[in-house]
Structure 1
Amino acid sequence: MTRPPVPAFAARPVVSVAVIVGLVLTALSGRYGYHRDELYFMAAGRHLAWGYIDQPPLTPLLARLSTTVFGDTVMGLRVLSTISCVITVIVVALIAREFGSDRRGQLLAAVCAAVSGFVVGVGHLVSTATYDLLAWMLIGLFAVKLLRTGDGRWWLALGLTAGIALENKYLVVLPIAALLISLLAVGPRDVLRSWWLPAGIAVAGLVALPNVIWQFQHDWPQLTVAGGISEDDGTENRIMFIPLQLLQLSPFLVPIWIAGFRRLWRMPWARSVALAYPLLCVVVLAVGGKSYYALPLLLVLVAAGCEPALGWIDRHRTAAFVGFVLTALTSALFTLPVLPASAVDFVIPVNKEQGEQIGWPTLTTAVAAAWERIPPEQRSTATIFAGNYGEAGALLRYGPSHGLPPAYSGHMSFADWGIPPDTNTGPVLLVEMERTPSFEDHFRDCSQVGTIDNIVSNDEDGTVIVQCAGTAEPWSTLWPKLRRYY
C-alpha cells in the first residue's frame, strides 16, 4: 500500500505557540499552592522505590528531580510538568503533520492544544495525568507514523514509550489495546505481520518489568486501589463521561475533532485511529473510569481535523478568532490560578482541582495550635495521625516550621513509610475530614479540639482535629486496621 508523504514541519510557529504556553504556565505556577497529590508525590519522592501502593514510580521520581534541580518550591516542583506540556503541544502539531497538514494546519493544531482546558490544566500541576498525556500523544504520533509509512521499526518506538508510560500509570494499555483491536477490525493489518511488533512488546515489557515485579512482591496493591476507586466513583464517572468529553478539551473544539474523525474514517490507512477512540470510550465506560482517560485520543482527532477546519476558518475568520480567544480565556479561568484565592469557589463546581491547591498551610497552623495545647511533658509520647495523604503531605511539608513532629497516616503508601512506635502511648491528634465513630473507636476518650476553616469550599474545608487520650491497643497491632487503599 502506498502511503502519502508529509509536509515540512512548521517548526517556528509551532514552537512559538508551545513556548507561549510554557511562559504562561511558569508565570502562574507559583500562585495558590501545592495540590494534595503534589504533596503526596513529594513525600513519595523521599522514599524512592520501584512502586507504590497506588502507582508506579515515575511521577514521584520526576517530582524529586524537579525540586532537586529547580528548587523545593511550588514553582520548582512544576518545572518539568510545564516542559511536558510544552512538548505535548508540539507533538499534537506533529501528529497533524502526519495526517498531511501543512504549515497552517500544524499551527492550528498547536493552538488547539494550547487553548485546551485539559492540556493546560494537567500542565499546570504535577500529576500522573501530566506525563500520561505526553506519553499517549507520543504513542499516537508513533502509531500514525507506523500506519502511514508501513515501517515496522516504529513498533520499537511505540514499545519504548509504552514501557516508560507503564512506569507512570497502567492506563496506557487502554489506548494501545483499542488501537490493536481497531487494526484487526479495519486494518491495515500488514503492520501486524512484522517481527518488529514482538520486539516492541519485548522492549515495553523489559522497561516496565521492575514495577511489575514490585507489584507482584507486594500482592498487586494497585489492583485493590483501582477496584476501590471504581466502586466509589464508577457510577458518577459513567453519568458525566459524555458531558465531560465535550467540555474538558473545549466545546469550541468539538466540530474540529468530529471533522477529524470523519476525515480519518475516509482514509483507509488511518481508519483504525478513528475507530480506536469510540472503542476506548466503551472500555472506559465499562470499567467506570474517569472521563479524561479517553481525552488523549480525542486530541489525535483534533489534530486530524485541523486541515479540513481551515476552510471554515478562512470563511469565518472573525468568528474563529473570537472562538479561540473565548476558549483560551475560559480554559485559563477554570484550570489555571488566575482568580484570587478567595474567589475560587466560582470554579470549584467545574474543576475541584483548583480548590485542592488552597488551604494546606492553614491546616498545618491549626494542627500546630492543637499540638501546643498538649502538655509539654506528654508530647514526647504523643502522635499526629492524618486521615489522608494530602493532610499527611501538608504536615510533612509545613510541619517542621511549626515545630511539629512527623505525622503518620495509614492512607496509600504513607502506611509503609512509618509506624508510630508502641512507646507512643500518649495523646493522639487525629486529622479527619469528618468525624467517623468507627474510626475513632480505635482510640480512647476522643473529643474535637479544632476545625479547619478554609477560604474556599474544598475537600478540607470543615476538616476536624480530634484529640484522643491514646490508642485502644498498641500501634503495631492497630496499624493494619488503619491502612486505607482509597
Structure 2
Amino acid sequence: MTKNTGFLIGFILIKILLQYLLIDSGYDLHRDEYLHLDQAHHLAWGYISVPPVTSWLSYLIFLLGNSEFWVKFFPALFGALTITLVWKAIERLGGNLYAQSLAAVCLIFSALARLNILFQPNSFDILAWTFVYYSLLCYIQSGKNKWLYWLGVGIGFGFLNKYNIAFQLLGLVPALLLTSERKIFKNPHLYAALGLALLIALPNLIWQWQNDFPVIWHMRMLSNHQLVHVNRLNFLTDQFFFFFGSAFVLVLSMISYFTYPPFRKYQVFFWSTVFTLAIFTYFQAKNYYAIGLYPIHYAFGAIYLSHLFSKSWGKYLKPVVMVIPIALFILTAPMTYPIGDPQYLKKVQSRHPELMENRWEDGEIHDLSQDFADMLGWKELAEKVDLAYSKAPKEEYTLIICDNYGQAGAINFYTKTKGLKAVTMNADYVNWVDLSREIRNIILVREAEDGVSDREISFFESSEEIGTITDPDAREHGTIIHLLLGTKTDINAILATEIEEKRAELRE
C-alpha cells in the first residue's frame, strides 16, 4: 500500500466517523428516511417521489438488520466515495499529496456533511454527478472512448437514483458546445454511451409510462407547495455557504480554467456550472440540488493552489490553508448540525440570529431547523400506537391510518409489535393499503390541526384517544393517536373509494 493510499483510507475513515458524531443520540431518524425504508417492502422500478435505487439500498439495510447504524452508514459511504473520486481526479491531473489532502479536507468539512447525515437520494446523487464529471475529465485527458461509456453508466444509475441528474446534462450540453470539446458530438461512441444510459434507465421509464408518469404529479406538488417559497437570489447566495470554509479553493478553481495552461482544456466544467446554476435558478430549485456541481472543482482548485504554493513562501501558508475549513466547520457546527439537543441548538442560534435562518417549506421562520424538527417525536408516536394496538382484539384486523408518510414510516420502523403495519393516503403509501381483509378496528394518527371527526367516530362502537406527541420541538407536536373499535359499516369500501379519489387527486 502506497503512502497516498494510506492517507486516502485515513480520510475515508474520518469522513464516515464524523457523520455519526454529528447527530446527538436524542434524535430519531428523519421523516423522509422512513418512507425510503418502507420501500424495501414494496420493491418496484419506481415510486411517486423517487426512482428505485434508494429502495434497493433500503432492502440491503433490511437484510443487515434494519438498524439506525446502517441507515446512517450508506450516505456516509457515498460521501466518502465522492471524496475518493476527487482524490483520483487529482492523481490523474498530476496533483501531489498536499493537493489531494486539501481537497479531502475541504469536502469532509463542508455541506456534504449535512446531506450525508440523512438517508435520502441526495448523497448518491452527488456521487453520481461527480462520477459523470470524473468520467468526462478522463475522456478529455485520455481521449479513450471507454470513459464515455462510464459516463453513460453514471448517467443511467444517477437517473435511477434521482431525476435531478437531468439538470447536469442540460448544463453540460451548452458547455460542451461553447468550448473546444464540442468535437465530442462528432464521436459516435457518445451516442452509444447515451444509449447505454437510456438502457439502464429504461425500466424506470417504462414504469413511469405504465403508471401515468407520477414524476409529473410529484413535480407539480413540489412546485405548488415547496418550490413556490424558494427565492432565486437566496438560491444563488446559499451556494457560497455550502462550502464557505473552502470557498477560496472553489474561486481559484474557476480562475485556473482560464489562467493555468494545463487546465484550459477543462473549461467545460466552468461553463457547465454556469449554465446549470442558471437553469436551477430559473426553475426556483431548492438550494441543495446544485451541490453535485462542486466536488470536481476541488480537484482543480487544490492543484492550482498547490502550484501557487510551490514558491518558497508557500510552505508557510500550506498548513494555514488546510486548517481554515476545519476551524470554520468547528465554529459553525453547533448551529448547523444536531450535535446537541433542541434546547442547546436554539440557545446557540439565538446568539447569532443573523447567521441562521430556520425557514421551513411553508415559507415561515421557526426557532429550529425543519430537518431537525423532523427528527423528533417519532419513537414516542410508535410507543403510543403500540399501546393502542394492544387494546384492540387480537383476532380482528386493526388498520393504522396516518395523515402523512413520516408518521406511517416511523411507526413501521420503531414498532415493537410484530406484524403491525401503518399506512396513509400520502405519497407511495396510497398504493400499499391492504384491503384484502375485513377491517374491524382502526387506529387513526392525525396531525394536531385536523383531529378526529365525529363522522369517523360514528362508524365505530367505541373510541378512545390514546395520547398525543408531547415533544414541543417536534414538527409533529400535538399529533393525536385515536383508537376506534368495532366497525358499524363497511370500512373497506369507504377506504377503497378514498384511495381512488386520492390517486385521481395526485394526477390532477
Instruction: Note the residue ranges of structure 2 that are not aligned, 5 or more in a row.
Output: 350-356, 359-367
SS at structure 1 position matched to 2:372? helix
| Correspondences of 1:19-38 after superposition (within 5 Å) | 19-26=13-20, 31=25, 32-38=27-33
Separation (CA, whole Å) in 1 of partners of 2:81 and 2:480: 42
Mean CA deviation greater in 60-69 or 331-340 = 331-340
Separation (CA, whole Å) in 2 of partners of 1:83 and 1:318: 27
1:428-447 CA-to-partner distances (Å, cap 9, x unmatched) read: 4332334248x959845599
Task: Quickly say closer, same or farther: Cα 1:176–1:377, change in 2 above 3 A.
Answer: closer
Separation (CA, whole Å) in 2 of partners of 1:79 and 1:403: 26
- Which residue identity lines up with residue 215 of structure 2 in the other structure? Q
Task: Quickly say closer, same or farther: Cα 1:480–1:344, change in 2 above 3 A.
Answer: farther
- Which residue identity lines up with residue 329 of structure 2 in the other structure? A
| Correspondences of 1:126-141 after superposition (within 5 Å) | 126-141=119-134
Does residue 361 (structure 1) correspond to residue 375 (structure 2)? The answer is: no
Does residue 418 (structure 1) correspond to residue 429 (structure 2)? The answer is: no
What TM-score, normalized to structure 2?
A: 0.83
1:415-456 CA-to-partner distances (Å, cap 9, x unmatched) read: 111244684365x4332334248x95984559993431226x
SS at structure 1 position matched to 2:433? coil
2:56 corresponds, among 61, 72, 87, to: 61
Does residue 78 (structure 1) correspond to residue 72 (structure 2)? The answer is: yes
Per the alignment, residue 244 of structure 1 pairs with 238
Deviation at residue 331 of structure 1 after TM alignment: 6.2
- Which residue identity lines up with residue 299 of structure 1 in the other structure? P
Does the 8 A contact of 1:45 with 1:61 survive in 2?
yes
Per the alignment, residue 470 of structure 2 pairs with 453
Does the 8 A contact of 1:444 with 1:472 survive in 2?
no
User: Percent of aligned positions with the same letter in both sequences?
Assistant: 22
Deviation at residue 148 of structure 1 after TM alignment: 2.3
Deviation at residue 464 of structure 1 after TM alignment: 3.2
Task: Quickly say closer, same or farther: Cα 1:442–1:16, change in 2 above 3 A.
Answer: farther
Per the alignment, residue 364 of structure 2 pairs with none
SS at structure 2 position matched to 1:430? strand
Does the 8 A contact of 1:368 with 1:404 survive in 2?
no
Does the 8 A contact of 2:61 with 2:67 survive in 1?
no
Task: Quickly say closer, same or farther: Cα 1:18–1:442, change in 2 above 3 A.
Answer: farther
- Which residue identity lines up with residue 298 of structure 1 in the other structure? Y
SS at structure 1 position matched to 2:444? strand
Per the alignment, residue 286 of structure 2 pairs with 290
- Which residue identity lines up with residue 80 of structure 1 in the other structure? F
1:61-90 CA-to-partner distances (Å, cap 9, x unmatched) read: 112113313x32100233333222211111
Does the 8 A contact of 1:115 with 1:331 survive in 2?
no
Per the alignment, residue 3 of structure 1 pairs with none
SS at structure 2 position matched to 1:429? strand
Per the alignment, residue 40 of structure 2 pairs with 45
Separation (CA, whole Å) in 2 of partners of 1:454 and 1:159: 47
Per the alignment, residue 117 of structure 2 pairs with 124
SS at structure 1 position matched to 2:230? helix
Separation (CA, whole Å) in 2 of partners of 1:442 and 1:149: 70
Does the 8 A contact of 1:87 with 1:134 survive in 2?
yes
Separation (CA, whole Å) in 2 of partners of 1:183 and 1:434: 52
Per the alignment, residue 5 of structure 1 pairs with none
Does residue 275 (structure 1) correspond to residue 271 (structure 2)? The answer is: yes
Mean CA deviation greater in 412-421 or 332-341 = 332-341
Mean CA deviation greater in 269-278 or 28-37 = 28-37
Separation (CA, whole Å) in 2 of partners of 1:472 and 1:23: 48
Does the 8 A contact of 2:375 with 2:474 survive in 1?
no
Does residue 195 (structure 1) correspond to residue 215 (structure 2)? The answer is: no
| Correspondences of 1:20-419 after superposition (within 5 Å) | 20-26=14-20, 31=25, 32-69=27-64, 71-116=65-110, 118-239=111-232, 240-248=234-242, 250-266=243-259, 267-310=263-306, 311=308, 314-316=315-317, 319-320=320-321, 322-330=323-331, 332-333=333-334, 336-340=337-341, 343-345=344-346, 349=358, 351-370=369-388, 376=392, 380=396, 382-399=398-415, 401-402=416-417, 405-419=420-434
1:481 corresponds, among 501, 505, 508, to: 501
Task: Quickly say closer, same or farther: Cα 1:460–1:191, change in 2 above 3 A.
Answer: same
Separation (CA, whole Å) in 1 of partners of 2:9 and 2:484: 57
SS at structure 2 position matched to 1:167? helix
Does residue 430 (structure 1) correspond to residue 444 (structure 2)? The answer is: yes
Does the 8 A contact of 2:435 with 2:492 survive in 1?
no
Per the alignment, residue 362 of structure 2 pairs with none
Task: Quickly say closer, same or farther: Cα 1:80–1:405, change in 2 above 3 A.
Answer: closer
SS at structure 2 position matched to 1:125? coil
- Which residue identity lines up with residue 44 of structure 2 in the other structure? A
1:152-181 CA-to-partner distances (Å, cap 9, x unmatched) read: 331100001111111111111211221121
1:286-329 CA-to-partner distances (Å, cap 9, x unmatched) read: 22221111111122223321223344774545753552232332
Task: Quickly say closer, same or farther: Cα 1:28–1:288, change in 2 above 3 A.
Answer: closer
